[in-house]
Chains A and B, each alone.
Chain A
């Protein structure tokens, strides 16, 4: 017998039963998932973009800041402001997302791929989640995973209408779609409490995460 068969046989022997009915199991699982909605944390009464922004700059999230722009065309100006405020050169890795690529970045030196010691990366998030102040990224041809992990500063644009309330809403929004290689749910900057429990940011990933809420979304 293979290890797989051994393990399955041992499970059934110790549970003292035969394989059970798949549809009954599914019904029970769905009921449990629904029940989770009753006890999940509630959100402040304001709109979702505001709740997300409040959450991001609260003490609950490490190393994050937030700003707003009206339209994507203002993105390069917003990145310039950020660089000026942090004393950074106008150099960055830009996520190959069409919405970002079509903008006028002529002030910037742009690298196509992300370097190991990249100072700044600029990207567009797929979703945001107000409950936790989280930005969601899916890996793909327009979105390399490392863009979120190698830079020191990470600027993330998020369209207002893609801000969701709870973690479950993310699952519902993507239900039925084939999952990408990586879903990265990112909440604030990288941190560690491994030395005496003291929180320090910028452990391996970014030390600064800046979210920009885009009010009007696509052109």
Chain B
């Protein structure tokens, strides 16, 4: 295979499908995640109302993004923060590197941030010759393995415990004696303590930007964010502008949805609000606090029919429940964000031309939208990209004729529903535990993929029924 061929989605997905080791690794984490989320949602009677409200809070912010950006900036400045704006990924990295240079920094700790990955910050820090210490356990594993994250919540989910044990034995000063998971975690704790204490600059992301106080909220379970942001002289936040919320109560409403959807817990162990630098009399904290607000395509999304995608809380539920993600893992997507949300975002970030395969890597079963805590219409957005790809003539001839047929059917809604309805009744016959392992006449599909058991009715049929029930 040439490099270019190896770099196509088909080649990556094909390699991933043949990798049973990878399948085991993915299964171990996403299965637990699905079960825990299910239990957390079942234990919260107000969930569906809260979800509906969460979507409306995010829409309210998106509709008034300019207002909240200015309010946040004003309050952050008043707290002593230095606020920077970056239109592009490259600009954002340049700003961060410049702050590090001005601070004469030698080493930098980083607490996991998907925005940081999106703008290519790890690479930019390395290029600038700064010693980079990733402090999130998974990111630490990814760094040791010279890897890329493959999931937005568990970046090292593609690695089995055996892989990680070997990595730690090779790289840690005093590695674990036994390869059980607690001993490995303890080894990482010992290894990273020194990194925390020596860092000149700490870089974090943001889960929420609180407009009425100028505070930045981070959530972690490990406590690495606080060690990253409190010990060094300088704390830099890089955040996407869509992270704004009006006030603390709005952040709490979204936090309840985010954490349950991500890990099945009700709250993370550490929910921290950072507001300005160290105050007079404070016993610890950074001397300087910088916030880099990053657009990188977000403002453009507002005008591209992708505004709802800016609701995304980065919880990962859509990928945990995605048939395609569970088969091929995150790396095959090729972009920073994998799974359904990644398939929608990657064309924005990398261009449709190079990522058009992604928007087809979807069965449109609707599961991602159902589990999304802010009800993002991911399948409709993927369909939108498919139509755009077709309209721009990016589709090869075979695909174009197939899509022509598909378009014929979907533009005749009754025909589409009839076809989808029939398919569902047939598929349910072969299902066990909600996943279909063998399909007659389609073994080319199911020999390497499990097909999700369809819901009893099509998404549209259920949606119509719900609408009737709610009297809409």
A→B interface (CB under 8 Å): 2-4, 6-8, 10-16, 19-20, 22, 25, 28-29, 32-33, 35-36, 38-42, 60, 62, 96, 113, 116-117, 131-132, 134, 139-141, 143-146, 148-150, 167-168, 170-171, 179-198, 200, 202-206
Contacts and interface: CB of A to CB of B under 8 A. Distances in A.
Interface residues of B, number: 104
B282 interface: yes
B184 A195 contact: yes
A190 B221 contact: yes
B188 to A, nearest CB: 8
Given A20-B64, A32-B56, A200-B182, A149 B302 contact: no
A197 B32 contact: yes
Nearest to B190: A117
B222 A191 contact: yes
Contact of A171 (B57, B156, B247): B247
B418 interface: no
Given A14-B303, A116-B197, A187 B267 contact: yes
B200 interface: no
30 contacts: A6-B85, A11-B69, A14-B303, A15-B65, A20-B64, A20-B67, A32-B53, A35-B53, A39-B50, A139-B283, A140-B281, A144-B283, A145-B226, A167-B252, A168-B252, A171-B249, A182-B230, A183-B215, A184-B271, A185-B267, A190-B270, A192-B185, A192-B222, A193-B221, A195-B185, A196-B160, A197-B30, A202-B186, A202-B189, A203-B222
B230 A200 contact: no
Nearest to A41: B44
Nearest to B294: A7
B217 to A, nearest CB: 9
A182 B272 contact: yes
B249 A140 contact: no
Kindly name the residue among A4, A113, A149, A195 whose own CB sees the greatest number of chain B CB atoms within 10 A: A195
B55 to A, nearest CB: 11
Given A32-B56, A180-B279, A205-B223, A197 B189 contact: no
A213 B270 CA distance: 20
Given A19-B66, A194-B138, A203 B221 contact: yes
Contacts of B246: 29, 32-33
B16 to A, nearest CB: 18
